[in-house]
A and B are shown apart, each in its own frame.
Chain A
Amino acid sequence: GEDVEQSLFLSVREGDSSVINCTYTDSSSTYLYWYKQEPGAGLQLLTYIFSNMDMKQDQRLTVLLNKKDKHLSLRIADTQTGDSAIYFCAESSGNTPLVFGKGTRLSVIA
């Protein structure tokens, strides 16, 4: 079945850039999402990208997609302490449910 892999932890210093990586196995994945989850909260949609795009930028967030390698990354520029959270990568082929990775816990050191 489909699988989405993420590294579990990432630690960065405040002001640096964070890069969270994700790989997926389903070649029919058409829509790829990044969600943020803060403690005790639900999932906040950060951004998404369609498989016919290579890059998407939204303020401090940059998403890069390498469809050949099935690799997705989320770059957060000028990382702040408020960015500390768990980040989930998810994929869908459009009419299928979201398949999530296990999440990457981002810790920002002041």
Chain B
Amino acid sequence: KAGVTQTPRYLIKTRGQQVTLSCSPISGHRSVSWYQQTPGQGLQFLFEYFSETQRNKGNFPGRFSGRQFSNSRSEMNVSTLELGDSALYLCASSLGDRGNTIYFGEGSWLTVV
């Protein structure tokens, strides 16, 4: 069965631009979470969507947003990019019930110049 698929894998953007990242969860999984990984801050939670509703939200500015579609695919958007947004963005997929195993994709590497 296919794993968690993230696109694009690599991208370079300029300060002030916006970016959209996509995540397709494992078939049958209804929960999608997003995490940001940087060398300085490590892995930080952005938000979680379950059945098209945001269920949890991390401590990130409003420039970071997301959504989930009826087929459980999710997108996250970062507007007005800053140099500090350069990071690996990881998507995680699970069934969504308490304690289910959580699988990650390969991530999207974003560089802001």
Residues of A within 8 A of B (CB): 30-31, 33, 35, 41-45, 48, 50, 88, 90, 92, 94-103
B98 at interface (Cβ–Cβ under 8 A)? Answer: yes
Structural contact, B101 and A97, CB atoms closer than 8 A: no
Q: Which chain A residues border B103 with CB–CB below 8 Å?
A: 45
A99 to B58, CA, bound (A): 11
Q: In chain A, what residue has the closest Cβ to B41?
A: A102
How far, in whole Å, are A92 and B101 apart by their CA atoms in the complex?
Answer: 11
14 pairs from A and B in contact (CB 8 Å cutoff): A30-B99, A42-B104, A42-B105, A43-B104, A44-B104, A45-B101, A92-B99, A95-B98, A97-B48, A98-B35, A98-B43, A99-B45, A102-B42, A103-B42
Query: CB-CB < 8 A to A100: which residues of B?
Result: 42-43
Name the CB-closest residue of B to A99.
B45
B side interface size, CB within 8 A: 22
Contact of A98 among B4, B92, B106, B107 (CB under 8 A): B92
Given known A100-B42, A100-B43, contact A42–B106 (CB-CB < 8 A): yes
Question: What 0/1 pattern do residues 63 to 105 of B give for CB contact below 8 A with A?
Answer: 0000000000000000000000000101010000011011111
Taking beta carbons and an 8 Å cutoff, which residues of B are in contact with A? 4, 6, 33, 35, 42-43, 45, 48, 56, 58, 88, 90, 92, 98-99, 101-107
Query: How far is A101 from B48 in the complex, measured between Cα atoms in Å?
Result: 19
Contact check, B99 vs A45: say whether CB atoms are below 8 A apart. Answer: no
Do residues B90 and A42 form an inter-chain contact, with CB atoms below 8 A? yes
In the bound complex, residues from chain B placing their C-beta under 8 Å from that of A99 are 45
Query: A98-B45, A103-B42 are known contacts; what are 4 more A-B pairs with Cβ within 8 Å?
Result: A43-B92, A43-B104, A98-B35, A98-B92
- Chain B residue at minimum C-beta to C-beta distance from A1: B59
